[in-house]
Amino acid sequence: MWDFIWNDFLVTGEPIIYGAMASIVLATVGIVFVLTYFKLWKWLWDEYLTTVDHKKIGIMYIIAALAMLFRGGVDALMMRTQLALPNMNFLNSVHYNEIFTTHGTVMILFMAMPFIIGLMNVAVPLQIGARDVAFPFLNAFSFWTFFFGAMLFNISFVIGGSPSAGWTSYVPMAGPELSPEINQNYYLLGLQLSGIGTLATGINFLVTILRMRAPGMTLMKMPIFTWSALITSIIIIFAFPILTIALALMTLDRIFGTHFFTLAGEGMPMMWANLFWLWGHPEVYIVILPAFGVFSEVISTFARKQLFGYKAMVYAMCVIAGLSFIVWVHHFFTMGAGAGVNSLFSITTMLIAVPTGIKIFNWLGTMYKGRIRFNVPMLWALAFIPNFTIGGVTGVMLGMASADYQYHNTYFLIAHFHYVLIAGTLFGMFAGLTYWYPKMFGHKMNEKLGKISFWFTVIGFNITFLPQFFLGLMGMPRRTYTIEPEWMPLNLLSTAGAFVLAAGFVIFTFNIYYSARYEPREKTGDAWDGRSLEWATTTPVPHYNFATVPYVNSHEAYWDMKETGATTYDESKLEPIHMPSYKGLPIIMSAIMFIASFGLVWHWFWLAIPGLLGVIICMVIRSFDFDEGYHVPIEEIKRTEEQARGRKE
Amino acid sequence: MKNLVSWFKRLFMVPGLFALLLVASGCSGITVLDPKGPVARTQQELIIFSITLMSVIVIVVFVLFFYMIIRFRERPNWTDKDYDPHQHGNTTLEIIWTVIPFIIVAALSVPTVTSLYALEKPPEETNDQEPLVIHADTSNWKWYFSYPEQNIETVNYLHIPENRPVEFKLASADSMTALWIPALGGQKYNMAGMQNTLYLQADEEGEFAGRNANYNGSGFAEHTFTVTSESEEEFNQWVSDVQNNAPEMTKDRFDEYLEPGLAQEAEYSSTHLEYVDFGMNSGRSYITDLYSGNLGEQLHLEGGEGGPWEEE
Q: pLDDT above 70 covers what percent of chain A?
A: 100
Q: Which one, of A226, A369, A301, A363, lies nearest residue A529 by Cα?
A: A301
Asked if the structure places residue B305 within a domain, the reply is no
**Which residues from chain B sit within 8 angstroms of residue A400, using beta carbons?**
46, 50, 108, 111-112
Asked if the structure places residue B301 within a domain, the reply is no
What tens digit of pLDDT does each residue of A455-473 get?
A: 999 999 999 999 999 999 9
Q: What is the CATH number of the domain that holds B137?
A: 2.60.40.420
Domain co-membership, B111 together with B136: no
Sheet with B142-147, edge to edge strand ranges: B196-200, B166-172, B132-139, B142-147, B152-155, B266-268
Domain co-membership, B142 together with B53: no
Domain co-membership, B134 together with B229: yes
* HEC letters along chain B: CHHHHHHHHHHHHHHHHHHHHHHHCHHHCCHHHCCCCHHHHHHHHHHHHHHHHHHHHHHHHHHHHHHHHHHCECCCCCCHHHCCCCCCCCHHHHHHHHHHHHHHHHHHHHHHHHHHHHHCCCCHHHCCCCCEEEEEEEECCEEEEEECCCCEEEECEEEEECCCCEEEEEEECCCCEEEEECCCEEEEEECCCCCEEEEECCCCCEEEEEEECCCCCCCHHHCEEEEEEECHHHHHHHHHHHHHHCCCCCHHHHHHHHCCCCCCCEEECCCHHHCCCCCCHHHCCHHHHHHCCCCCCCCCCCCCCCCHHHHC
Sheet with B206-212, edge to edge strand ranges: B157-161, B224-230, B206-212, B177-181, B185-190
What Cα–Cα distance (Å) separates residue A575 from each residue in A255, A539, A551, A578?
56, 21, 16, 9
* Residue range of the domain that includes B219: 126-293
Nearest Cβ partner of B302 from A89, A367, A483?
Answer: A89
CB contact under 8 A, A394 and B32: no
Note the pLDDT of residue A524. Answer: 84
What tens digit of pLDDT does each residue of A49-96 get?
A: 999 999 999 999 999 999 999 999 999 999 999 999 999 999 999 999
CB contact under 8 A, A180 and B73: no
DSSP state of A521: B
Domain co-membership, B136 together with B282: yes
Chain B within 8 Å of A347 (Cβ-Cβ)?
yes
Share the mean pLDDT of chain A. Answer: 94
Note the pLDDT of residue B4. Answer: 46
CB contact under 8 A, B186 and A406: yes
Phi, psi of A477 (to 5 degrees): -80, 155
Domain co-membership, B163 together with B231: yes
Chain B within 8 Å of A390 (Cβ-Cβ)?
yes
Q: Which one, of B179, B283, B143, B26, lies nearest residue A471 by Cα?
A: B26
Domain co-membership, B133 together with B269: yes
Contact in structure between A412 and A394 (CB atoms under 8 Å): yes
Domain co-membership, B100 together with B153: no
Note the pLDDT of residue B85. Answer: 85
What tens digit of pLDDT does each residue of A15-58 get?
A: 777 887 888 888 888 888 888 888 899 999 999 999 999 999 99
Domain co-membership, B26 together with B168: no
Give me the residues of B, 260-289, that contact A with CB < 8 A: 281, 284-285, 287-289
Q: For residue B217, is pLDDT > 90?
A: yes
Chain B within 8 Å of A220 (Cβ-Cβ)?
no
Domain co-membership, B185 together with B53: no
Asked if the structure places residue B174 within a domain, the reply is yes
ipTM of the complex, rounded to two decimals: 0.93
Dihedral-angle region of residue A223 (phi above 0 means left; psi in -120 to 50 means alpha; beta otherwise): beta
For strand B224-230 and strand B185-190, is the pairing parallel, antiparallel, or unpaired?
Answer: unpaired
Asked if the structure places residue B19 within a domain, the reply is yes
Residue A293, exposed/middle/buried by CB under 10 A (0-12, 13-18, 19+)?
Answer: buried
Chain B within 8 Å of A553 (Cβ-Cβ)?
no
Give residue A624's pLDDT band: very low, low, confident or very high (50, 70, 90). very high
For residues A287 and A281, give the distance between their C-alpha atoms in angstroms, rounded to a whole number: 10
Note the pLDDT of residue B16. Answer: 54
For residues A309 and A357, give the distance between their C-alpha atoms in angstroms, rounded to a whole number: 13
Note the pLDDT of residue B15. Answer: 52
Domain co-membership, B53 together with B112: yes
Note the pLDDT of residue B259. Answer: 94
- DSSP per-residue string spanning A82-109: HTSSTT--SS-HHHHHHHHHHHHHIIII
> How many Cα atoms occupy the beta-carbon half-sphere of B125 within 13 Å?
14
Note the pLDDT of residue A428. Answer: 97
CB contact under 8 A, B304 and A94: no
Q: For residue B13, is pLDDT > 70?
A: no
Asked if the structure places residue B303 within a domain, the reply is no
Q: For residue B189, is pLDDT > 90?
A: yes
End-to-end CA distance of chain B: give it in Å, rounded: 74
Note the pLDDT of residue B154. Answer: 97
Note the pLDDT of residue B19. Answer: 54
Class of domain A54-289: mainly alpha
- Amino acid in the structure at residue A439: K
For strand B142-147 and strand B152-155, is the pairing parallel, antiparallel, or unpaired?
Answer: antiparallel
Domain co-membership, B41 together with B161: no
**SS3 at position A604:** coil
Q: How many domains does chain B have?
A: 2
The residue ranking higher by pLDDT, A523 or A489, is A489
CB contact under 8 A, A351 and B105: yes
This prediction's pTM: 0.94
Reported as type and span, the H/E element at residue A632 is strand A630-632
CB contact under 8 A, A371 and B74: yes
Q: Which one, of A83, A71, A69, lies nearest residue A464 by Cα?
A: A83
Contact in structure between A267 and A175 (CB atoms under 8 Å): yes
Asked if the structure places residue B311 within a domain, the reply is no
Asked if the structure places residue B168 within a domain, the reply is yes
> How many Cα atoms occupy the beta-carbon half-sphere of A235 within 13 Å?
29
